[in-house]
A and B are shown apart, each in its own frame.
Chain A
Amino acid sequence: MPKVKLPRSSPRIDMTPMVDTFAVILIFLMLTATMSSPEPATVDTPFSISEKPIPDANYMTFLISTDGKVFMNFDNGPDTLLKFRPRILEEMGKRYGIEFTERQLREFQTYPSSMGVRIEDMTEFLDNQDANARKALQVGIPMDSANNQLAMWIQYARMVNPNIQACIKGDSQVEFPVVKRVLNILQDLNVKRFSLITSLAAVKINLEEIQQ
């Protein structure tokens, strides 16, 4: 019997299909990716059965952390040309007598996550590029009756963008009075419909359960 000759060359694998698949997956992931920027405070949202997703635009978020700080975030509107965020900041600046430079407004426009900065510290916050220094300035938006900056933010946000929808994102361990305070401020400003941001939990109940 003749000897079976093994080919001396190493086996060559055609990697083209694999590369193709990878490319498709990669493109898909890149297009669907919504860069989740880190929030200034970690918040475990409570669960609910609601399946309604958060809107893409026209919303303001109140992030309430476990230590009772309130952070706020707006979107730039459905079109980036609308520049809602810098306009809101400009109005706030006028109210508190602070002049913001073009560069600071642009920085505010592109800042990716919520802010809990007092308006007096805002210039320092926007000029500072150091993340740690910025974090130290995030003390929560003041909302006591003497210095109710949160109400001002809401008011100007609604003035600049009348379609804005209020969303509350709170940690499930937050003491209720803090939430109540935010709700009261909203109610006082005639915001009566708003949304609570939750995570989806599956709950099933059937008819038999109540017919027993």
Chain B
Amino acid sequence: MAEIIQSAKSGGKKRAKRILPHMDMTPMVDLMMLLITFFMLTTSMSKPKIMDITLPDRVTDPEKQQAPKISASRTLNIILGPDNRVFWYPGAVKPEEYNNPPPLMETDFSPDGIRQLLLERNRTLFRTINEYRDKVIRGEIRITQDSLQGAIRELKNIDDTGPIVLIKAYKEANYGNFVDILDEMNICGIARYTFVDIAWYEERMVEIASNISSSSAY
């Protein structure tokens, strides 16, 4: 294919001919092509990514269980519902309202949904972080990438205006939603969020909320 070894014809005189030795490389090239194709198809270039989360201590003793002592005005409860739905309500439900809880607001995972909600509440911190990052990019603050992460963490630590988000999952939620909502926390730069068990009255709130919307669909 690539090369045909010619039979050198030269009549008469017998003389040592200077023929350059030529190797037929075609099989080798074929083999290499095969190997390259194989490796290209089997290698996974990008390693999977990980997202770190920290969970609070689990209190199994119901005697010791108590509502988190955080200011209700900053609290935002997000409840993952069935069928990729997501509900939220601000503040906390008072004990006397347990049997008649306030209605849940519904939103979705689109950029206009939950992200808008979170950014609106977290505007100050989000802007501070962004401005800081811009300054680093423009070279006004000279720090390395690693210390930038540390500095952002510090900014989040001293923040006292952003929301405190409590994430709860209804039993029919799926794992994808859970990752989505944690991801949304990272995107919006929420400083304080945690994942807590859903309370019984919140389960009822979800049931009421999804029933109302399903009956209105009839």
Contacts of A45 in B (CB 8 A): 48
Bound-state CA distance A187–B61 (Å) is 14
B20 to chain A minimum Cβ distance, whole angstroms, is: 11
Q: How far is the CB of A163 from chain B (nearest CB, A)?
A: 15
Q: Which residues of A contact B40 (CB under 8 A)?
A: 29
Interface size on A, residues (CB 8 A): 63
- Closest chain B residue to A53, Cβ basis: B47
B53–chain A nearest beta-carbon distance, Å = 6
Interchain residue pairs with CB less than 8 A apart (17):
A13-B2, A18-B29, A45-B48, A47-B183, A48-B51, A48-B179, A50-B50, A50-B52, A53-B50, A54-B50, A172-B176, A176-B169, A176-B173, A176-B177, A205-B111, A207-B130, A210-B120
Q: B44 near A: Cβ within 8 Å?
A: yes
B86-125 vs A: 1/0 string, CB under 8 Å?
Answer: 0000000000000000000000000100010001100100
Partner of B32 from the list A22, A169, A170, A183 (CB cut-off 8 Å) is A22
Question: 1/0 contact trace for A173-212 toward B, CB 8 Å?
Answer: 1111111100110111000111111111001010101100
Contact A176 B43 (CB under 8 A): no
| CB atoms of B179 and A25 under 8 A apart | no
Could you say which residues of chain B place their CB within 8 Å of the CB of A207? Answer: 127, 130
User: Please, how many residues of chain B have a CB less than 8 angstroms from a CB on the other chain?
Assistant: 56
Query: Would you call A198 and B174 a contact (CB within 8 A)?
Result: no
Answer yes or no: A102 CB below 8 A from chain B CBs.
no
Q: Is A23 an interface residue (CB 8 A)?
A: yes
Binding site for B on A (CB under 8 A): 9-10, 12-13, 15-16, 18-19, 22-23, 25-26, 29-30, 32-36, 45-55, 64, 167, 169-180, 183-184, 186-188, 192-200, 203, 205, 207, 209-210
- In the assembled complex, B57 has its CB within 8 A of some CB on chain A: yes
Closest CB-CB distance, B112 to chain A, in whole Å? Answer: 10
**Complex contact A23–B32 (CB within 8 A):** yes
Q: Is B80 interfacial (CB-CB < 8 Å)?
A: yes
Enumerate chain B residues within 8 angstroms of A203, measured Cβ to Cβ. Answer: 183, 187
Q: Which of B33, B56, B123 contacts A210 (CB 8 A)?
A: B123
Residues in chain B near residue A36, CB distance under 8 A: 42, 44
B120 to chain A, nearest CB (A): 7
